[in-house]
Structure 1
Amino acid sequence: MSSIATKIPTRSLYRLFAATPLSRAAALSTATAEIRTQKLERIADELLDLTKLERHDYAILFRLKMGLDRYGPVVSAPGPAAAAGSGEAAAGEAKAAEKTAFDVKLEKFEAAAKIKIIKEVRSFTDLGLKEAKDLVEKAPVVLKKGVSKEEAGPIIEKLKELGATVVLE
């Protein structure tokens, strides 16, 4: 057997193993991985070049595109086939379904307590000072969407203590 191994030159063996489909696939996957890495680095660099406000907008857009709305799951609107059904049956089903997600709405507030209300709004949302101030000044406005009754209770109580009129919709 040793005579057979000595008759085949090592260069031929190397070419034989180097030309296998497995090595081509490995080379191709390495090139693909390198392209992916370059693409990810380019995306990361572009994200780092964004301003703080643009990054915030991008984060919201990304969550929405991924279906990860922070106020609850994204609910798609019924299609035309569902809308074409009988209106009475749909109304009956809507009444039968118990509401589990609520919106906390700020109706009005006392002017003297405006700063305290803004601070409280910032505590249960992740808004900055300016965004929270703008939101409070737009009253009546929905402060938080899609919260459970248990989660909304403390928020409503705290805002009512501060002199705001808050409703659960």
Structure 2
Amino acid sequence: MSRNSIRFIKLIRSFSTEATQISKPERIADELLNLNKFERHDFTILWRLKMGLDRYGAPVAGPGPLGPTSSDPTSAAATAAATEKTAFDIKLEKYDAGAKIKIIKEVRSFTDLGLKEAKDLVEKFPCVLKKGITKDEAGPIIEKLKELGATVVLDN
């Protein structure tokens, strides 16, 4: 955040019950109108974080008026469908020592790693080989590594 944004935040926090005719919301609105474009951007990010909103503006699931209620079965089903994991990690648990070179070559084929980086990654098992891929992309990779003698899991 910029220095002006930090000063603005401190200014908002320093508001106290002063004996003025202007109400606190009016003072805050006046200060917001005086911010430049970058300060407004920093303020909106800070505001969303303080309000518990994610980067897309949807409320974070939890108890309260915006979260799911236990009395509504359709909202529970919708929440379960919305939280279904779509991105997975491929995790190498262990491998046969004789198949180490083949596994390193296979790791290089589906990552952008060089020979040394792939070797170091495979040698420090258990480790995550690839992050954030779909089940469809992970299936062939896992099958190939299992054929080579590695124990691989799809991690949530």
Flag the 1:80–1:163 CA change in 2: closer, same or farther, 3 A.
Answer: farther
**Equivalent in 96, 101, 111 of residue 87 of structure 2:** 101
1:126 aligned counterpart, secondary structure: coil
- Other-structure match for 1:155: 141
Which runs of structure 1 show a deviation greater than 4 angstroms over 4 or more consecutive aligned residues? 83-86
- Other-structure match for 2:71: none
More helix by proportion, 1 or 2?
Answer: 1
Q: Which amino acid aligns with 2:91?
A: K
Distance 2:154 2:132 in 1: 11
1:48-85 residue CA offsets vs partner (Å, 9 max, x unmatched): xxxxxxxxxxxxxxxxxxxxxxxxxxxxxx82421797
Uncovered stretches (5+) of structure 1, i.e. residues with no partner: 1-77
1:73-128 residue CA offsets vs partner (Å, 9 max, x unmatched): xxxxx8242179774548x6764422111111111111111111000000111110
- Other-structure match for 1:125: 111
Q: Which amino acid aligns with 2:120?
A: D
- 2:115 paired with 1:140: no
What is the count of residue pairs matched by the alignment?
Answer: 91
- Other-structure match for 2:20: none
Q: TM-score, normalised by structure 1?
A: 0.48
Give the deviation of 1:138 after TM superposition. 1.1
For 1:19-168, what aligned pairs fall within 5 Å after superposition?
A: 79-82=49-52, 87-88=62-63, 89=67, 95-97=80-82, 98-168=84-154
The higher radius of gyration belongs to 1
Identity of aligned residues (%): 71
